[in-house]
Chain A
Amino acid sequence: MKRFHWTAPPAAQEGHAIEDEGAGSGAGSAASHPLHELPPGTQAVVQGIDGGYRSLDRLSALGLVPGTCLQVVRSSRRGPILVQVHNTRVAVGRGQADKVRTAPLGEPQAEERRWP
């Protein structure tokens, strides 16, 4: 099955008020991590989605699209990852999380690091 690499065109990323230098620099950035590798509390911007038609549809309907800012709320070695995106929480299974390429915006927030 066809696997797409969806990255934000520069214009779309400028539209976001991302208060960070060098995070939204597009595909292939050295700082790119799959979503499930981010520790809890990390804020990140979605750089790209690598997946088939269905994953693209599902992820974009829930607002996980290139250029979106998110914060990891809970992440452990197994089970879905909980992220805050567009003011609500979305649980992302590990299979889906692997398709979301992100660029972390700095270190995890102190407040959120208390999450076990």
Chain B
Amino acid sequence: MAVSEPDRSTAADEAGAAAEIALLGQPNVGKSTVFNTLTGLRQHIGNWPGKTVGRKEGWIELEGQQQRLVDLPGSYSLTAGSEEEQIVRDYLQHQQPEVVVFLADAVALERSLYLLSEVLALHKRVVVGLNRVDVARRHGIHVDAQALARALGLPVVPLVARDATGISELLASVEALRRAPERCQPSPPQVRPRSAAALARIAERIRPAAPAPYDPHWLAQKLLEGDPQVREWAEAWLSAAEWEALDDELHRHEEVVLDILGARCDWVQSIVQAAVERPRAGQASWTDRLDRVATHSVGGPLLLLALLAGVLGLTFQIALPLQGWLDATVVQTAAAGAEALLAPAPGWVSGLVVDGVITGVGTVLTFLPILAIFFTLMGLLEDSGYLARVALLLDRLMHAVGLHGKSALPLTLGLGCNVVSVVGTRIIESRRERLLTILLAPLVPCSARLAILAVLAPIFFGDWALLATLGLIGLNLAVLAGLGLLLHRTALRGESSAFLMELPLYQRPQLRTTMYHVYAQLKEFVHKAGTVIVLAATAVWALSSFPGPGIESSALAQIGHWMAPLGDLMGLDWRLIAALLSSFVAKEVAISTLGILYGLGEGAQGLAEALPAAVGPASGLAFLTVAMLFIPCMATVAAIRQETGGWRWPAVSIALLLGVSVLGGIAVYQGALLLGLGGGA
């Protein structure tokens, strides 16, 4: 299990200025609190290369120097079961951080030590931050930090991260360890001799083929643990004959995995016995009392509904007026100013600036209040420990379509804005379930599409408007469930994560540390999604302005004409198609485009007379069906790109929804004709 230490220190020395401090721990151990306390506003969020998992890093001051602090994703073990676990172990092996700050939970020390035993197989320069000693004391658990340090052979610093107690001691300990790395003398778990022999033999088989920095003993151990990623590696590194021989050997020693796990558990037990005293059983705590309601089969869902309504209400009560205000003052003022300023220039210049760039920047700006409030509320709920209960309550319902219990939260918020739900999927840990939620999120009818329904349904259907509206919303939800089922069974198959999760103790959420995180998330949104939104707004403006004059003779209209044969199947003429295409900027733009194309100027008043004359009810129904199911707006696309770290999933999302909406449009139009509704545009 031991990894040869000399290699590592030389590599770290060579890395020189690139040396980093890493923060590592299980989920719910208070890692973000420690990270936010250490870095404050000096942090930013990105993605791990090629992964959907967010990467947080920031700067801390050590001995007068700025040092990079990397927040590793929370995981329970280091077998390649999840993306998080792969990231942590790849990072430890390839990056070889100068010091790892390992956060342990004094309340559930066993669980923390289990992860630590795996970390020690990969990295030895570890400082243990023993968090939540105060909560542990209240539960009647006393952890002797000195005894723990002796048993582990590592420095241990007791912490109460929530009020920053012990943080400076933690930094001092990191500094001390940088100066004297030999202070770490951990003794990781040892398997019994019989298994050790098998481990050694397997390590020898893989040693010649294993590239740096992988340690053959660690590889052997993971092979015996049935680690899928290491098995793939070994198969690629070895010749077919060698792999077969190795696989044979693995089969012969299958039972060694029990010994490896057993050795870890024994190690954990021996350390707990050396360091933990439990003089009395904990009394009924807040957690007991709150969970009586929060996980109750009737009370639980009621509380959840109330909280969900609260979050949705607060988000839009506060954010929508702010959004309107920002749009009316900042954006309109900027637009008017730019227009006045650019009056002497050719028309297209002012068009580019006002209708392209300023529209784009304005869109980004007006999303900020909604996102800020949503992130704050979610951060507080997560910090309090409640989000885990939500997952528990909704797991069965969401599981049916392959989603995670937590998917319900971002999806519900999609009723306001799909961007919020895509970005909000950050609360889902499993990559597969997160991707599935992201792909389904645009099917939740957002407020802009509800506005389209509200304006156009009465125009097309008169007295039947309410029924049509409800039917169209129901159709969206049905398609969401159906597509979820389909993807779950096909492209995004995979075990929907077996339900096994920790329900952390409740705690009073911390507004200050949550705000640091909100700030970092908004910064990232402006930086990444913002750029794409501005570019897309400019591109759509160009498409609808050139060659001109007017949108009627623009490239957008031309595309509408080209697509007429497809449009015929759905009963849509080129104007309706152009309106759909323009809704890519923002869904509600479809209405103003219709206004322009039916020769009424912007605004909906004239539409009430012009549209029914030009568009029959069957075409109207098909148009609204497509509009409701259509490709996500550019802000949502930008958010999907930001969250998935590339263009692949935004492309999948657009293709998927384009297919679904066209099929839906054809089916509805043909069906409506069969039922005798008038068609034709």
Contact = CB atoms under 8 A, between A and B. Distances in A.
B499 A6 contact: no
A86 B106 CA distance: 10
Given A53-B225, A57-B81, A67-B265, A86 B395 contact: no
B502 interface: yes
Interface residues of B, number: 49
A89 B225 contact: no
Interface string A1-37: 0101010110110011000000000000000000000
A2 B224 CA distance: 12
B261 A15 contact: no
B332 interface: no
Contacts of B262: 6, 8-9, 12
B295 A87 contact: no
Contacts of B500: 58-59, 62, 90-93, 96
Interface stretch (B109-117, B176-184, B359-367, B523-531): B109-117
B81 A88 contact: no
A60 B514 CA distance: 31
B8 interface: no
Contacts of A9: 262
Nearest to B501: A91
Interface string A34-69: 000000000000000000111111111111011100
Contact of B257 (A56, A87, A89, A95): A56
A9 B141 CA distance: 27
B296 A116 contact: yes
Residue from B115, B254, B502 whose CB has the most chain A CB atoms within 10 Å: B502
Given A86-B111, A88-B504, A93 B498 contact: yes
Interface residues of A, number: 44
Contact of B255 (A4, A52, A62, A82): A4
Contacts of B388: 91
B39 interface: no
A13 to B, nearest CB: 10
B291 interface: yes
Nearest to A95: B498
Contact of B269 (A12, A52, A58): A12
A22 to B, nearest CB: 21
Contacts of B76: 58, 61-62
Given A73-B291, A115-B292, A65 B503 contact: no
A101 interface: no
A88 B498 contact: no
Nearest to A57: B79
Nearest to B254: A2
B552 interface: no
A108 interface: no
Contacts of B264: 60
B535 to A, nearest CB: 43
Interface in B58-113: 76-77, 79, 81, 107-111
Interface string B240-254: 000000000000001
B4 interface: no
Interface in B356-406: 388, 392, 395-396
Nearest to B505: A88
A3 to B, nearest CB: 11
B474 interface: no
Nearest to B296: A116
A57 to B, nearest CB: 5
Contacts of A86: 108-111
B266 interface: yes
B273 interface: yes
B390 to A, nearest CB: 12
A96 B498 contact: yes
Contact of B392 (A53, A63, A91): A91
A78 B396 CA distance: 9
B258 interface: yes
A81 B457 CA distance: 47
Nearest to A60: B261
Majority SS at the chain A contact face = mixed
Contacts of B561: none
Interface in B175-209: none
A4 B253 CA distance: 12
Interface in B470-505: 498-505
A89 B503 contact: yes
A92 B107 contact: no
A53 B495 CA distance: 14
Contact of A54 (B81, B111, B502): B81
Nearest to B136: A87
Residue from A4, A91, A116 whose CB has the most chain B CB atoms within 10 Å: A91
Contact of B114 (A63, A90, A95, A111): A63
Residue from A11, A12, A56, A63 whose CB has the most chain B CB atoms within 10 Å: A63
A106 B165 CA distance: 42
B329 interface: no
A62 B111 contact: yes
A87 B498 contact: no
B261 A6 contact: yes
B146 interface: no
Contact of B139 (A56, A59, A87): A87
Nearest to B261: A60
B605 interface: no
Contacts of B136: 87
B170 to A, nearest CB: 23
B297 interface: yes
B680 interface: no
A9 B269 CA distance: 14
Contacts of A76: 297
A113 to B, nearest CB: 13
Contacts of B292: 115
Residue from A59, A62, A90 whose CB has the most chain B CB atoms within 10 Å: A62
Contacts of B273: 15
B502 A92 contact: no
A84 B258 CA distance: 24
A54 to B, nearest CB: 6
Contacts of B108: 63, 86-88
B392 A61 contact: no
Given A54-B79, A58-B77, A95-B498, 19 more contacts: A12-B269, A53-B226, A53-B257, A54-B81, A54-B498, A63-B108, A65-B265, A66-B265, A80-B392, A80-B499, A82-B291, A86-B108, A87-B136, A89-B287, A89-B502, A91-B499, A91-B500, A92-B500, A115-B292
25 contacts: A6-B262, A12-B265, A53-B225, A53-B227, A54-B81, A56-B258, A57-B77, A57-B81, A57-B225, A57-B261, A58-B77, A58-B81, A58-B498, A60-B77, A60-B261, A61-B114, A63-B108, A63-B110, A82-B295, A86-B111, A88-B111, A88-B502, A90-B503, A93-B395, A96-B499
Interface of A: 2, 4, 6, 8-9, 11-12, 15-16, 52-63, 65-67, 73-74, 76, 78-80, 82, 86-93, 95-96, 111, 115-116
| CB-CB nearest 4 A-B residue pairs | A93-B499, A53-B226, A61-B76, A61-B77
